[in-house]
Amino acid sequence: MKTLDALKRYSHLFEAAEEQIKEICHIVDNTVLSNQGRVLAAFQELQVDETCFYDSSGYGYNDFGREKLDSLYATVFGGEAGLVRPQYVSGTHAIASAIYGVLKPGERLVSLTGRPYDTLQKALGLTVGSNVVLYDETDMSNGLSEIELDRVLTPDTSIVFIQRSRGYAERRTLTVDDIRILITAVRQRRPDAVVIVDNCYGEFTEEQEPCHVGADLVAGSLIKNPGAGLASSGGYVVGRSDLVERAAWQLTAPGLGSGIGCMAGVKRLYYQGLFLAPHQVGQSLKGMILAASLFAAIGYSVSPRWDEKRGDVVQAVRLGSAEKLRSFCRAVQAASPVDSHVEPNPAPMVGYEDEIIMAAGTFVQGASSEFSADAPLRHPFSVYMQGGLTYEHIKLALAAVIAQLDEQFDFLTQ
């Protein structure tokens, strides 16, 4: 069934959902306006001009556009310095460079949001029996525990890690205010500990970022929110200038750091992507709010709820079976602009323990700034949607998903 036909068939569901979420979407629009104003002011303050887009070559020495892009990210995200590079192969790579750039032998890393995302678990050596780093964890995503903080924040704790988004966990995503509360509690016990926040999926979902509330470093991926679908690769680190430089040493080599690195063919897209990001994230947020309303209305458990404050652009729906999960992802793929004829199947993927099914008919491979859905094949078979360049595409794709599941499983009667 074509997406427009599906939307007409289930128009009663969509009309009811859009009426329900109208006020929440107005709040999103206000957030977009505030963030767009902050980004525009940063561009103007730093006097971005056409020369910033010129390519560099070789070692990339004296790359004025690269240096200004670093400063732009620092200004927008509330840090002293920034590091924005196409050489980062993923968000995990950027986060790992921040962690290993700061962590010294014998020092300890503590996660306050439970076990990290699957790919970072491998980067830290948490899945191979012997840890690469000294490590402890506690999950405070549902609220602060003074007793647990006293237990884990031992004198040898060097880094406190906070993962903003849930990954494939069943926990809630943290808001910036949640992060502020955690950082305040950490500072009372370990004022010298470095707080590193995995900011993936969270950029521009609120009017502040983690560095605005005291994080020392934040890191993320350019093919997620801040690239707005235009960045074809890369990652970023923002925060304290000394720590950003240590992350740069980890990315390149000690003594080289942020002063080197050719950027050919990407700078204009990085600048333009950052400028468009507040609007694109707003489109994603409204699409995920619509999805939450729709699937809750037909009886499925969703997280977050449509009226819940959001800290990222991810929407989880608990489907309950592997068959529904496969069908859901295949419908998303079929409703995509790219590779719509391809049928996704679960498969092993580098960095993950379980087989993963991914629906990502995207212009940039794996870009979760674009509407996509994925999940590990494990109980309770929740699917994780994210992104969306336009609200209209998300709406059409959701109609196609509901049509497919209704036809195959009598979805609306479950």
| Residue 73 pLDDT | 99
Query: Mean per-residue pLDDT for 376-400?
Result: 96
DSSP of 235-269? EEEEE-HHHHHHHHHHHS-TTTGGG-----S-HHH
Q: Are 280 and 228 in contact (CB under 8 A)?
A: yes
Task: Give me 318's structure tokens.
Answer: 């608990």
* Length of the chain (residues): 414
- Quickly state the pLDDT bin for 169 (edges 50, 70, 90): confident
Strand ranges of the sheet holding 235-239, from the earlier edge strand across to the other edge: 81-85, 235-239, 217-221, 194-198, 157-163, 108-111, 134-137
Confidence at 414, pLDDT banded by 50, 70, 90: very low
Q: Is 57 exposed, middle or buried (0-12, 13-18, 19+ CB in 10 A)?
A: exposed
Instruction: Sketch out the chain's domains with CATH numbers.
Output: 3-35+278-413 (3.90.1150.60), 37-274 (3.40.640.10)
Mean predicted confidence (pLDDT) in 147-159: 95
Which residues is 356 bridged to in the sheet? Answer: 347, 376
Confidence (pLDDT) at 2? 84
Residue 301's H or E segment, with its range, is none
Query: What percentage of the chain carries pLDDT values higher than 90?
Result: 89
Is the pLDDT at 295 greater than 80, yes or no? yes
Reply yes or no on whether the pLDDT at 131 is more than 70.
Answer: no
Helix axes of 391-409 and 11-20: crossing angle, nearest 10 degrees: 130
Q: Is the pLDDT of residue 81 over 70?
A: yes
What pTM value is reported for the model?
Answer: 0.95
- The 10s digit of each residue's pLDDT in 340-373 is 999 999 999 876 788 999 999 999 999 999 999 9
The pLDDT assigned to 352 comes to 78
- pLDDT band at residue 36, thresholds of 50, 70 and 90? very high
Average pLDDT in the 251-265 region? 94
- 260 token code pair: 């080197």
Q: What percent of the residues of the chain are helix, what percent strand, and what percent coil, each to the nearest 5? A: 45, 15, 40
Identify the pLDDT of residue 130.
Answer: 54
CA angle, 334 as apex, 274 and 349 as ends, to 5°? Answer: 70
